[in-house]
A and B are shown apart, each in its own frame.
Chain A
Amino acid sequence: MNLFSDWTWFHRLGSPRWFYQNSGRWLPWLSVVTLVVLATGLVWGLAFAPADAKQGNSFRIIYIHVPASFLALAGYYIMAIAGAVGLIWKMKLSYMVMKSAAPIGAVLTFIALFTGAVWGKPTWGTYWVWDARITSMLILLFLYAGVMALQYAYHSVDAASKAGAILALVGTVNIPIIYKSVDWWYTLHQPATIKLTSAPSMHPDMFQPLLVMIAGFYLFYALVLILQTRNEILRRERNTSWVRELAAAKMTTNTIANEAKSE
């Protein structure tokens, strides 16, 4: 109950300084765990999982394609929610999270599109089809590009943050509509020659590494988002005394280490 009556935890969470200092403590652990999970999933999926009966070994692309698609879409919602929190509670930190989430999501969307195209060649005989899911993914990439371009277009940090948040929210309202309409459009025009069957029910031996990869991608996303947000904090708070002291402390420890090395 105390959690809800007392809002100090919420404000502390919104403090860039608090976030920066605490995330610094978690980062080494998070990066080690991410690396281990991703490496496990990669080796398992590439070398140990059995090949698909119909698609052969090309199906192994699923181990990066599906997690990347998951995170590409989830990333947009994370970005939009961060923007909404910024607009409602005027929380500086959440605008920084929003700005950092955009390029990460765009790269993951690109990965999903690229791996999908490469996977399409051996399975359907072509790199690109105007399939509903592929088209929606492409539109998602455009939506990310819009938010990023808007962030870079404004000189004023405040205007850029608010404009980006509004655009992200408008996009969020639109994503289900876009997905449904593209789906409907595809069933209308579905070419007879190419038949995309939905993923066959996967054997547990194939499915387990996929779960590991999805977990790994989520961890990776969190890790990169924290790294980018920390940079954004330094960029926006560079004139505060705590950032200056931090920079000074970091530099002196570095120079001491260098001198020790040279001796």
Chain B
Amino acid sequence: MTMYFANFDQLIAMGGHGVYVWSAFAVTVAAMLWLAVAPVIKHRALLNDIQRDSQRNRQRQRDSQRQDQNQQAGQSAAVSNATTDSPSNQSEEDF
């Protein structure tokens, strides 16, 4: 099997149709690369995000436990408790 073109310059020129052929292939390769690479990057970001989320939740759980203990110890933590129980926190915690 031999190459159709005699040399590299002819391959680039494509008998005068080089602009069309190479631009079509370049755009296609770029679009397909984007299709393949974007989900890989997104996958890593998602895993990072989920990990950070669950860490934050665990932290919050620990905090609220400590607060409960403080309350049992007789300290009046009513004010701080009201601030941590805001609705935005509750909507995020669904476990």
Assess A/B contact in the complex (Cβ within 8 A). Answer: yes
A114 adjacent to B27 (CB under 8 Å)? yes
B17 adjacent to A56 (CB under 8 Å)? yes
Instruction: Report Cα–Cα, A115/B50, bound state, in Å.
Output: 40
Chain B residues with Cβ below 8 Å from A244 are: 50-51, 54
Q: Does A47 reach chain B (CB closer than 8 Å)?
A: yes
A220 adjacent to B32 (CB under 8 Å)? yes
The binding surface of chain B is classed by DSSP as helix
B46 adjacent to A119 (CB under 8 Å)? no
Instruction: Report Cα–Cα, A230/B39, bound state, in Å.
Output: 9
Tell me the chain A residues, 159-200 only, with Cβ under 8 Å from chain B: none
B14 adjacent to A57 (CB under 8 Å)? yes
Q: Does B36 reach chain A (CB closer than 8 Å)?
A: yes
* B24 interface neighbour in A42, A48, A119, A238, Cβ under 8 Å: A119
How many residues from A make CB contacts under 8 Å with B? 43
Shortest Cβ gap from A255 to chain B (Å): 10
Instruction: Report Cα–Cα, A46/B15, bound state, in Å.
Output: 13
Tell me the chain A residues, 206-263 only, with Cβ under 8 Å from chain B: 220, 223-224, 227-228, 230-231, 234-235, 238-239, 243-244, 246-248, 250-251
Instruction: Report Cα–Cα, A51/B48, bound state, in Å.
Output: 50
B20 adjacent to A56 (CB under 8 Å)? no
B36 adjacent to A227 (CB under 8 Å)? yes
Instruction: Report Cα–Cα, A60/B40, bound state, in Å.
Output: 30
* B4 interface neighbour in A48, A122, A247, Cβ under 8 Å: A48
* B21 interface neighbour in A48, A57, A107, A248, Cβ under 8 Å: A57
Shortest Cβ gap from B32 to chain A (Å): 7
Q: Does A143 reach chain B (CB closer than 8 Å)?
A: no
Answer whether A110 and B21 are a contact pair too, CB < 8 Å, given A224-B39, A231-B39.
no
Chain B 1-45 interface mask (CB, 8 Å, partner A; 1/0): 111110000010011111011011101100110111001101100
Q: Does B73 reach chain A (CB closer than 8 Å)?
A: no
Q: Does A36 reach chain B (CB closer than 8 Å)?
A: no
* B51 interface neighbour in A56, A64, A110, A247, Cβ under 8 Å: A247
Chain B residues with Cβ below 8 Å from A12 are: none
Answer whether A231 and B3 are a contact pair too, CB < 8 Å, given A60-B14, A110-B31, A250-B51.
no
Shortest Cβ gap from B80 to chain A (Å): 27
Instruction: Report Cα–Cα, A231/B48, bound state, in Å.
Output: 12
Shortest Cβ gap from B91 to chain A (Å): 12
Q: Does B47 reach chain A (CB closer than 8 Å)?
A: yes
Tell me the chain B residues, 78-95 only, with Cβ under 8 Å from chain A: 94-95
* A61 interface neighbour in B15, B21, B31, Cβ under 8 Å: B21
Q: Does B53 reach chain A (CB closer than 8 Å)?
A: yes
| 7 pairs, CB–CB < 8 Å, chain A vs chain B | A47-B4, A107-B35, A230-B39, A234-B46, A239-B94, A247-B51, A247-B54
| Closest A-B pairs by Cβ, 6 of them | A57-B14, A227-B39, A58-B17, A247-B50, A247-B51, A118-B24
